[in-house]
Structure 1
């Protein structure tokens, strides 16, 4: 087998609107709106620098089926630059940009191969000498909702000894929080005979299997607090024995983060503010020039817990942090260059607890002890977690919007709600006990 190198990317979501961000200065909003295009530029730069033989993109190139002219023109610029360097691109379309969408359909250059609504296969060649190195197969969504298992349409060519790559925009094993489009099982892909499954649709970077490789690279650019951490693509090197080595490369222009801030040992709001400012400076030093959008998660136990439960103090802290960061932005020049390591406080999530001896309570034969033990068990047992959430929300089960919101929650989010409810109960009960003792 001839060694070769390729890039696997997915879910570019060009021209994502970034709706719902409140309290963001105009400078940052413009920066956010450019971020998907900037990440695309980074992808092109990486492909040229790494001298890859080709790129595969596994669906959702555009964010919307009626993609803007701006998005199409920016994509065409990227395609043309790759063409100048002799780098072919193999593309499928997903649920956000199906083949029947109403875009203007600018013509693709010859080196960009877009797969149709049935599985098609092409031979990819090494750039340096034109030698055939891989069979690439793919299928695009004809409409926005594909509910059949399209992975079963893929068939390895038994007469070919080339490396086989499958492009599929799919939900493998029903990952929660994502639509069950083109649903398939890990076993379906393992038994296909393909060497590498280049997946798209799930925005979390995951390697589901290594032999064969079954890979989600995640999206190219995070777009909300649901998409935290580094985002980018994989550079894949295949050697003469057909063994692949994957290297993740961060390409995001804006990074979304959650940062933990503990109240343990803090006695005043001023100390909390100082700790938050120190954390912002640490993140700035690590930002590598990127704009960071950060949500602080307040954790730990301490005397500030009761104050934070009102919501007022937390909101005032957030506004103060934003005010200080806004001063850094005054006079900043908006361009495609990162905004000098700006760290924007997007919100606060309170996960603090009252000052109690939790270990001792867990050993007690009491209501609080049983409550805490049940919460710990729920974090480990999905069925128990679902029972608790369903029981708690039964009185409002007729509310359609609430039902939909709960349906969209993942297991981690549900566990966080249960923990928060337990902490509120512990705080209220311990405060009542303290007041009762004082009155006696």
Structure 2
């Protein structure tokens, strides 16, 4: 006899052996199914963490070490700024180049050079960073928002044409996500109506616009070197032009109105101090040696993703014009709401569970939907241009239906140069998997 509550080793082995045998008879417990959503217990479609690029290294270190031997860190005639301009012109071959403190500063300089003033209208995209229009507002101009094409997410030239008025002076074309705009059509409109075309290339470093370097179709091109961009120095920008009407103005308008070459020492223009320093220029010059590899890799991977999800019911891939190279600062596809039994939030949650770096939309609302626009509260809660009767613009009544729809049903994905084709194919498999699960 054994004490109560205890069993012999022989009994224990017999019981456990029987249980194992019974389990073997039933077969192994089934594991997660590959076709089941990860958030419901299935296998992840993307089984490894998102690859992240190493952004800085020897090219930047080399420039910074040389910079430390300089007597001055002022941009004017500085060796780092000179090299940055030279390397920039290898990417975007424009004659006049001014480095500056940010992409927003670059656009403000361009707007000043274009002569935008009291009540002048500038047509642009409602889906962009507010930096696209800050300079317009500071010059007491009036941003006019035109609608977008449904899958390129860029300005619709037909709607731009409808928005042109006697007050229109310029168009700012935003190459959103690194995808070239319909710049040829916009340039034709600009030439027909005597307007100035400014290209906002902040997200489009290395893009090709129908066989031409981005920034070379318009009158003035603006680039950002902010930390999230393809190439960066933390914060910085470049503004450039080959038009003799605007190019010579870029330097003084980025430097308090002071012409550093051939001036009389007097101030003939009023402008902010938007200078870039030599340390920033050193990092940016080093970064530009990386640009071709970054741009070509992102382009190839983004195009591959479009190929992989083409034809998936309810999915509209990112649309890139024939002959152009999109550099995918982000990738975005659209969901047709009637094709799925879930909303966008649930779709994105399912993608994230599969290991896909996905988010809903781009910005919360079009620019005109922000309180500062709806309340016309740009300058200490006021808008002098409207108070003076120089515009009848009412942003509370503005609507761009396609732009609003894009923000409502777009799904944004991360593309970066550290990814490979296998990663992209896994992301595409995740999109197909989630789409099939929620198919209506």
Decide which structure has greater strand share: 1
Structure number with greater CO (CA < 8 Å, separation at least 6) is: 2
When normalised by structure 2's length, the TM-score is 0.27
When normalised by structure 1's length, the TM-score is 0.27
> Bigger radius of gyration, 1 or 2?
2
